[in-house]
Amino acid sequence: MPSTPHPNCPYQSLPQMLRRTAEQHADRPALSYKRSGSYITLNYQQFYLRVLMTARGLRKAGMQLGDNVVIFSENRIGWAIADFGIQTAGGASVPIYATNTGAQAAYIINHCAAKIVFVSGRQQYEKLLGVRDQLPQVELVVSFERFLGDLKLPVYTLNQLSEVSHPLTSDEKAQIEKNIESIAPDHLATVIYTSGTTGEPKGVMLSQYNLLINATIGHEHLGGINPDDIFLSFLPLSHVLERTAGYHSALLLGSHIAFAESVNTVLENIIEIKPTFIVSVPRLFEKIHSRIYESVHQSSSLKRQLFHRAVDIGREYVRRRYLDNQPVGLLGLKYRIYDKLVFSKIRAKFGGNLRSFICGGAPLDKTVNEFMWVIGLPVFEGYGLTETSPAVTLNNRRHLRFGSVGIPLEGTQLKLAEDGELLIKGPQVMQGYYKDDKTTAAAMDDGWFKSGDIATIDEQGFVTIVDRKKEIIITAAGKNIPPQPLENALKLDKYISQAFVYGDAKPYLVALLTPSLERLIELAQREKLDYLAVDELVTNRRVLELFKERVELFNQSQPSYQTIKKFALLPREFSIEGGELTPTMKQKRKEIYAIHKDQIDQLYLTNGGEK
């Protein structure tokens, strides 16, 4: 492994990168976090010094070189300080989603043999306290907030661990920075546990080199990111997409990271922070698309006509300029006029400074993606996995194809197995699964990582992901049907918020649908439907007739074997809390089936399916 990961990234480790960035951009804002109604900001020098103090505290607390240390927290400044403090002290950080239960956290803590656990506050601490008897090796819990703990599980604050009232002596600083220079590219930086939707979570081992090279070649592939950028961070830092694209990439360039309060306050926080760059998953763009069209639907006839004309011109402009790479001529002038009249007003609702998004984690419907480009908020869709740090492919302004996940990053090789599975070789591929040589060996094929995704690669190198290999539906008639494209198409209907398609080993496909509540309530008011709660509304005869019409409209664009023969309408959306979504809003297909099995089974018991 090279001593420097990349010609344009002269760093051996993430802590070394932070040290140099803090020297170059000492007074620039590094991290912001909202507390008690206002934002607290650390500049790069302050952030770096807090990292050194945390490393000092960890070594005093008994942390050894090579130790794994857990971070059980939502995004906040303390998360970043702990993460870099752990690595600076010679260890590897092991993140746990803040939404995990105590039992789920205990599994990870025990598997990685962590003796020290950082928590965000009382809520995560109480989860650990509830499973204290399962955590015999845990010696120290460090909280980002102050509260009284239990004698069974003593807790200290991050400030106490870091001894913030005692500035670093010159000798302490020199010694810690000497340790930073000894961190090699192949040293373990983090162990990220997969969500475990197909069994026990697996610990993905990513080196300093894996993460640094992915951040470096990723932002080079995109281009245009600079120290003046402001990143709004709302995806969990426990997820590798946010970790690399919205965290390491920003810190590498000296940009400013502002943490959203929660996934539910993103649109509000966008107005406050006025970011230039956001990393997201498809659900955000689906909601943006839906809300804009909902607003247009409620506007005057003249405004609706203006909007739809603007979108038509915008589609033609985007296709000619970015897809065909042709001169836009007079079309450019038309687009600028409609942009000023329509799209600039939409962008103003996102703070006015937002330039672009990165999207990953799940397929983004190409209609939604194209719309975002049309309104001047381009979404760069990419593809990757935890095991690949994560980016493997990415669209950019020079190489764009809606419906694809872009072209390979520099140094990344791709090929397809006989069954269409995407195989990956490159500098971002993991070191292996923690304490699991057997699974590591099974994931590799003569040096190629087996992604588990079925894909196609065209003659220009654009990659299109068909679906997860294990999630493709095989009907009783032997038809192989990827469900995600069907679900994405269903969600484009103005009345449908979410969709889950099922049909494995069955004679026909069925779907679970969740309604767009705004449209549903509007319908109920317009047609004076009687109901006390949404549970009643989704069983109303008129509502069911409407959704039958919407599904039949969808079926007209599908071959017969891909049509939805029956559906059930659910009163609430799939959610993280309900166990149906991962922390990054991906569907847990097995869990959705288990939770709603009775309703799905009923769809195959009643009449009306294929004979």
Tokens 């195959």 label which residue? 604
Q: Work out whether strand 448-457 and strand 421-425 pair parallel, antiparallel, or are unpaired.
A: antiparallel
Strand partners, 498: 514
At 267, the pLDDT band (50, 70, 90 cuts) reads confident
- For the four alpha carbons of 117, 121, 127 and 130, in that order, the dihedral sign comes to positive
Nearest to 188 by CA among 94, 312, 313, 100: 94
Q: Cα–Cα distance between 71 and 93 in angstroms, integer?
A: 7
Q: How far apart are CA 500 and CA 597, in angstroms?
A: 12
Mean pLDDT is lowest, of 120-124, 213-217, 574-578, for: 574-578
Q: What is the pLDDT of residue 344?
A: 97
Torsion, Cα of 24, 25, 27, 30 (10° steps) = -140
Place of tokens 């220009």: 460
Please check the confidence at residue 347 and state whether its pLDDT lies above 70.
yes
Q: pLDDT exceeding 90 applies to what percent of the chain?
A: 86
Phi-psi region of 553 (alpha: psi -120 to 50; beta: other; left: phi over 0): alpha
Per-residue pLDDT, 610 = 40
d(CA 546, CA 207): 53
Domains of the chain plus CATH, in order, are 14-185+223-279 (3.40.50.12780), 285-352 (no CATH), 472-605 (3.30.300.30)
The Cβ of residue 579 has, within 10 Å, a number of other Cβ atoms equal to 12
348: tokens are 């103003």
Task: Pull the structure tokens for residue 217.
Answer: 């070649």
Q: Which residue has the tokens 């990659």?
A: 463
Q: Which residue has the higher pLDDT, 231 or 478?
A: 231
Q: Convert the pLDDT of each residue in 125-180 to its tens digit.
A: 999 999 999 999 999 999 999 999 999 999 999 999 999 999 999 999 999 999 99
Assess contact for 222 and 129: CB atoms under 8 A. Answer: no
Report whether 253 contacts 305 (CB < 8 A). no
Confidence of residue 74 (pLDDT cuts 50, 70, 90): very high
Cβ neighbors of 569 (< 8 A, separation 6 or more) are 513, 514, 515, 538, 539, 543, 544, 547
Listed residue (363, 385, 405, 362) closest to 449, CA to CA:
385
The predicted structure's pLDDT at residue 611: 32
Cα-only R_g, the chain = 25
Half-sphere exposure of 281 (CA within 13 A, CB side): 19
Confidence check: pLDDT of 201 > 70: yes
The SS3 call for residue 227 is coil
Q: What is the pLDDT of residue 199?
A: 63
The pLDDT value given to residue 608: 45
Burial of 24-54, coded b for 16+ CB within 10 Å and e otherwise, reads: ebeebbbbbbbeeeeeeebbbebbbbbbbbb
Instruction: Give the Cα separation of 401 and 324 in Å (integer).
Output: 10
- Residue 162: exposure state from Cβ atoms within 10 A (0-12, 13-18, ≥19): buried
Please state whether the peptide bond connecting residue 390 to the residue before it is cis, i.e. omega within 30 degrees of 0: yes
**pLDDT above 70 coverage of the chain, percent:** 97
Cα–Cα distance measured from residue 576 to residue 498, given in angstroms and rounded to the nearest whole number: 14
Q: Considering the entire predicted model, what is its pTM?
A: 0.90
Mean pLDDT of the chain: 94
Q: Is the pLDDT of residue 5 over 60?
A: no
Q: What is the Cα–Cα distance from 190 to 205, expressed in whole angstroms? A: 6
Q: What DSSP string runs through 262-294?
A: -GGGHHHHHHHH--SEEEE-HHHHHHHHHHHHH
User: By C-alpha distance, which of 11, 428, 425, 409 is closest to 218?
Assistant: 409
